[in-house]
Chain A
Amino acid sequence: MRLLIAEDTPSDRLILANLIKRLGHEVILAIDGKEAVEQFIEHRPDIVLLDVMMPYKHGTQVAREIRQIAGEDLVPIIFLTSLNEASDLAACLEAGGDDFLSKPYNTVIIKAKIMAFSRMRRLHKEIQGQREHLVQEQIAAKGIFDKIAHYGVLNSPNIRYLISPKAIFNGDVVLAARHPNGDLLVLLGDFTGHGLPAAIGALPLAEVFHGMVSKGFALEDVLREVNSKLKSILPVGVFCCATAAHLGFRNRSIEVWAGGLPEGVIYNTQTKLIKKIHSQHLPLGILSAAQFKYQPVYFEMDDNDVIYLWSDGIIETVNAEQEMFGFERLLNVFTQSSNPNTVFDEILQHVEDFAVQGSEQADDHTLIEVKMQDAPSLALQHALLVKPKVAHRGLADCVMSCELGVESLKTFDPVPLVTHLIFQVTGLKPYVNTLNTILAELYSNALEHGLLHLDSVLKNSAQGFAKYYALRHERLNALDEGYIRFDIKHQPTEIGGKLTLQVTDSGRGFQLAQRQVTPASETNHNSLINYHGRGIRLIETLCQRLEFIAPGNSVIVEFDWQWL
């Protein structure tokens, strides 16, 4: 080992140098405090022996400087002293020394101390090495983790988010994925705990979320699956507080499920009104599949709506007086902000100003902002981007039928299934958004109007909106007979193909109610829209032919497509 001896008394220096050389170590000498620091920088000794009282620089000052230069390396500093009083010896240790050596020097004690510190250094190096290894591993794993957890459409221009972790890995997760019909689903989750154990649960969550949303499953199905998955894999006591939202750009609604996170808000940048998103459920991963509740809240969507969700790290940031930042201060940021476009940054700034300066962050900070404005056009752009490589094989000429009875209708959403079936026609893949929209619209018409006799007019007001969904839930539960049938036919053509979709319900149709035979004239058309909702007009623009079969309980849609 290499030892630095800093001692201004020449005879003491000579004795100590010789004692240590005889023990087989290399010795570097310094005759005052200034030289001690210089020699340390030049030779980087393993152990430093420092006289306390030295000219030019006091031993304790030298110790401080050496500590700073050494950084994370452990360099034991032993003070050389002829002080005898206990308080003086204690002062050496308080000044940053690891030990002291009293004059007259004793070979046996010197040897033992050097041995002890050499052992300590070895251990420290081992720990340093292991920690470095661990950090390297974590960084590598984090690369994979981020690819799984944070891909999707988080980079859309209408989304801003921040994950400020306490450690490399963290228990907060932000997900955003595009439904095949262009709708956007977002989720902010906060797993119990911090670091790696908390982060691991995010992987299955992200996999299920992205996989199911892109296949066209509804938010309810996605959350049920996520809940069951987390319940089965996470240890007891570990769960995921989350808020998830389905932004339906076509039916202009926001569907929100919230479990365990602090209240989020929907902020309107024009009216400055704030709607709060309250948690009404237990977090994901606690309840069994049978006990899991899905009672979402619906909001009517406005172009100026912006959703803000955050994890509790933001709200629970404490100041010097141990006060929490809290929800009230967060709301004040909104009411006091002069520019809606800077609210995101203002929130972060306020939290930073509030926190104790220079203190370590106590929890992961996560924040997401999703604007409704521009989102529908972005969805369409995204749709154009979906042009997978097409292989000229797969399903071509075919006829399929699928009929769902009451029990299926109550619990099963057939749209993803039928979408998936249609996907087997290879050339149709680029049309996924359009076809999913058509299918979903036809199905909800058949169910909500054909079987459940709901009136679209209800959806024209905010209260009616909620009432509509409440009624839907109520009547569906009470349904005791009926069916909905899908008839799907595909015919290849020279340039692509013709897809014929027929959706038939067991309801009485609309003729009985409206006494209209064909939806030919403008008045007829309007009553049809009142009956069937805004979606029908949308479908007409998307396909080549739309025809109602008397008595109105069956619709045929023809979709001609071309190879792209």
Chain B
Amino acid sequence: MTVHIDNEQLAELKEVLEDEFGILISTYLADAKLRLQLIEQGLQNQDYEAVRLAAHSLKGASANLGALILAKLCEKLEHDCKIGQHNELRCSVGIITEELKLISQELISISNA
């Protein structure tokens, strides 16, 4: 089974943040949603630099939460923008959207546990 979230890393965060862990999850999810919107918008406007920046931010934030697959997907998106390979972008964004949905549910359930 594919590991979408590094549970060990998340456990450590929970220990560090204590009561604020719930806030972290909701902050991350709200920010991730915003970045995804920026990515979509950039794609529509063919503003690939905006796509790259948003993907870069989402990559860092996701890595910090242990969302390793999402981070990897964002890295590919960032990289493709950077080297000007635009034909796969739409497809990548679709996968990122699915992955974010998936980990959102997982994170919410961990946060509520």
Which one of A8, A11, A22, A53 contacts B64 once the chains associate, using CB atoms below 8 Å? A11
Interface bracket on B: 20 to 34
Identify the closest chain A residue to B6 (Cβ): A104
Complex alpha-carbon distance, A294 and B68, angstroms:
88
Complex alpha-carbon distance, A329 and B53, angstroms:
60
Contact across chains for A11 and B28 when beta carbons are under 8 A apart: yes
Complex alpha-carbon distance, A18 and B63, angstroms:
17
B12 within 8 A of A: yes
Complex alpha-carbon distance, A14 and B28, angstroms:
10
Could you say which residues of chain B place their CB within 8 Å of the CB of A237? none
Could you say which residues of chain A place their CB within 8 Å of the CB of B12? 107
Contact across chains for B56 and A104 when beta carbons are under 8 A apart: no
Could you say which residues of chain A place their CB within 8 Å of the CB of B65? 11, 104
Contact across chains for A14 and B20 when beta carbons are under 8 A apart: yes
Interface residues of A in 471-503 (CB under 8 A from B): none
B27 within 8 A of A: yes
Contact across chains for A10 and B63 when beta carbons are under 8 A apart: no
Q: Given that A14-B24, A53-B53 are contacting pairs, would A9 and B61 also be in contact in the complex, using a CB cutoff of 8 Å? A: yes
A84 within 8 A of B: yes
Could you say which residues of chain A place their CB within 8 Å of the CB of B13? 15
Could you say which residues of chain B place their CB within 8 Å of the CB of A19? 16
Interface residues of B in 23-48 (CB under 8 A from A): 23-24, 27-28, 30-31
Could you say which residues of chain A place their CB within 8 Å of the CB of B20? 14, 18
Q: How many A residues face the partner with a CB closer than 8 A?
A: 18
Complex alpha-carbon distance, A81 and B28, angstroms:
17
Complex alpha-carbon distance, A103 and B71, angstroms:
10
Contact across chains for A82 and B16 when beta carbons are under 8 A apart: no
A431 within 8 A of B: no
Which one of B9, B61, B71, B75 contacts A12 once the chains associate, using CB atoms below 8 Å? B61
Interface centre among B31, B57, B66, B71 (most CB of A within 10 A): B57
Identify the closest chain A residue to B18 (Cβ): A18
B60 within 8 A of A: yes
Complex alpha-carbon distance, A53 and B55, angstroms:
12
**A binding-site residues for B, Cβ under 8 Å:** 8-12, 14-15, 18-19, 22, 53, 81-82, 84, 103-105, 107
8 contacts between A and B (CB under 8 A): A9-B31, A9-B60, A10-B28, A11-B31, A11-B64, A15-B17, A84-B75, A103-B60
Chain A to chain B: the 10 pairs with minimum beta-carbon distance, closest first: A82-B60, A11-B28, A103-B60, A104-B63, A104-B64, A103-B63, A9-B61, A10-B27, A11-B61, A11-B27
